[in-house]
Amino acid sequence: MGKVARQVVEQAGIDVNVLVDKLVRAAAAEFTTFYYYTILRVNSIGFDGEGLKEIIEDARIEDRNHYEALVPRIYELGGALPRDIRTFADMAACPDAYLPADPRDMKAMLNVLVEAERCAIRVYTDICNMTAGKDHRTYELSLAILNEEVEHESWFSEYLGEGPSGHFRRGAPGASPYVRRFMTADIG
């Protein structure tokens, strides 16, 4: 762990154990959402589903990237991932993004997707609010993730007909324009 890195955050007035718990729960939500979005993307088929497939894939890969970017910060602050993946999944900060009972119902699928993104926006806004002006590294990382979650929500919201997102498309699937620079391992 980074001894001084943790110390300066504590000295700024943050309860680091609470922060680490939030980061682990956020990482668990990314990991489980990556899993569930795999199932949603696979089932996004036919006239209604095919157009949705690409943005589910973008959001799916970017959630994996969010997990990857969060993990080093958890350990730097003296935290750790749970030993058992079942414990980890149960800690997720957002609900399971289950495939709808009728997998051909793309409106139901979109509601699952948009609600998952809305949960993520609340999670990272909370971490940003907690760390702003106090833990610069966690703040900047959480803000980068928040930027991508906001974009994801706007894509699914646009698809639901709630209004234009203002976006076009990622250059490559899951490009992570904001989080990429926090990823120290090669993401290909």
Residues that bind Fe ion (CB under 5 A): 30, 63, 66, 120
Q: How far is the CB of 12 from Fe ion (least distance, A)?
A: 26
Q: How far is the CB of 94 from Fe ion (least distance, A)?
A: 9
Look up residue 110 and give its two tokens.
């979109």
Cα gap 117→103, rounded to integer Å: 19
Look up residue 153 and give its two tokens.
């929500």
DSSP-assigned letter for residue 185: S
- Tokens 């899993």, residue located: 35
Please say which residue, 62 or 135, places its beta carbon nearer to Fe ion.
62
Give me the helices (H) in 101-166, please: 106-131, 136-159
Q: How far is the CB of 6 from Fe ion (least distance, A)?
A: 25
Please say which residue, 6 or 113, places its beta carbon nearer to Fe ion.
113
Please say which residue, 8 or 180, places its beta carbon nearer to Fe ion.
180
Q: How far is the CB of 70 from Fe ion (least distance, A)?
A: 9
Q: How far is the CB of 10 from Fe ion (least distance, A)?
A: 27
Please say which residue, 8 or 88, places its beta carbon nearer to Fe ion.
88
Please say which residue, 6 or 62, places its beta carbon nearer to Fe ion.
62
CB distance 15 to 135 below 8 Å: no
Q: How open is the CA angle 11-15-18, to the nearest 5 degrees?
A: 155
Look up residue 152 and give its two tokens.
């994801």
